Amino acid sequence: MRRRSIRRRERRYQGLLAALTGAVIAGVAVAAVALATDPTRSTEPSDTPASRPISADAPVSHSVPASALSLQGAIVNVVQSVSPSVVQIEDQRGLGSGIVFDASGHIVTNDHVVSGASSWTVTTASGTRYQARLVGSFPADDLAVIKIPGSRLRPATFADSSKLRVGDLAIAIGNPLGLQSSVTEGIVSAFRESVQEDSSITLPMVIQTSAAINPGNSGGALVDIEGRVIGIPTLAATDPQLGGSAPGIGFALPSNLVKDIAGQIVAKGKVVNSHRAFLGIRVGDTNGNGVLVGAVTGGDAAARAGMRVGDVITSVDGTATSTSGALSAVLAELKPGQRVPVVIRQQSGRSKTLQVTLGRFPGS
């Protein structure tokens, strides 16, 4: 199973979404809709069944267990509570999602949703549109913060993701495929470390969920049954044999990481403490035979340990590093200040073990 960032595909949904005729997903017909970037606001009346709260005095059907109706009502209430805090973010290349971070108009999202653009249009669940500016970003964790000056948006509540358990309910709210304010539900399936997003980014920890994650969900909200944000949907898994997405396997950045990195960006305009280990080198691949050191920054961890340009790193802390992605994955599991053995192959062909005290990955 491979993990694939949904960043590339979500850029394709510009303009109006074509009618989805005859499409069937899991046996359910998909209706024709318009992309949420259409400036025309929804004309759905506010008292439609989907928007009405569940009354505690409503009669209970004898054919449906009361516990099922209670769970359904809880999910409806979560969606109504959280949706005003989830927005659509659009630029000239495509769209994604975001979460209102605080009452000052800061919005946290994935870096890949906003990277490469200079201005963004933010659309709320009610259809109100704003222009936003970039506050700061941290590509290493695929997070960014934009701001809408003078807005009065409702901030989301963030949970403590360290208290999550496998099996907890998870509800994804965002704009998949441009379908504004869409909701899917599932559970927390697992917790994964060192997940490769692409060749240059390794995420230190992600939440795996069975709630469907599609292009456009990036930067949106994964929430618990109490309506608290537990993560930001970021990745979808692909099945290399089928050549498409793997249903029921999505990944989200945990809320504790989001609060930490976004909080630093809001307070300082940049990340000042990445909590990530750092060697201080530029590297290249060698067709699976190790990681070639292309440059060494003076004064950083590798230079202090005696590493030189032309060396090939073959393992770090006992783990083989056949590619630069493997090296990135190993470093994502280590912490600044740790002293670890690094095995290198010198240009002479001789192997040598260096004792390296890891530095801290620089902030944005």
- Cβ neighbours of residue 263 closer than 8 Å, sequence gap 6 or more: none
Backbone conformation region of residue 280, classed left if phi is above 0, alpha if psi is from -120 to 50, else beta: left
Which whole-number Å values give the CA distances from 81 to 84, 223, 270, 277, in the listed order?
Answer: 7, 11, 30, 38
Instruction: Report d(CA 217, CA 234) in Å as an integer.
Output: 7
Question: What one-character-per-residue DSSP string does 231-283 give?
Answer: EEEEEEEEETTTTEEEEEEEEEEEHHHHHHHHHHHHHHSS-S----EE--EEE
Considering the candidates 142, 224, 311, 317, report the single residue annotated as catalytic.
142
Q: Is 348 a catalytic residue?
A: no
Is residue 60 within 8 A of residue 73, CB to CB? The reply is no
Using a 10 angstrom Cβ sphere, with 0-12 exposed, 13-18 middle and 19 or more buried, the burial of residue 147 is buried
Considering the candidates 5, 83, 189, 218, report the single residue annotated as catalytic.
218
Is residue 142 within 8 A of residue 197, CB to CB? The reply is yes
Is residue 197 within 8 A of residue 237, CB to CB? The reply is no
Q: Is 142 a catalytic residue?
A: yes
Query: H helices then E strands: how many in the chain?
Result: 5, 23
Strands 106-109 and 143-147: antiparallel
Considering the candidates 5, 112, 210, 317, report the single residue annotated as catalytic.
112
Which whole-number Å values give the CA distances from 132 to 7, 119, 275, 347, in the listed order?
Answer: 20, 6, 28, 51
Q: Is 112 a catalytic residue?
A: yes
Instruction: Report d(CA 276, CA 363) in Å as an integer.
Output: 10
Instruction: Report d(CA 324, CA 82) in Å as an integer.
Output: 39
Please give the positions annotated as active site: 112, 142, 218
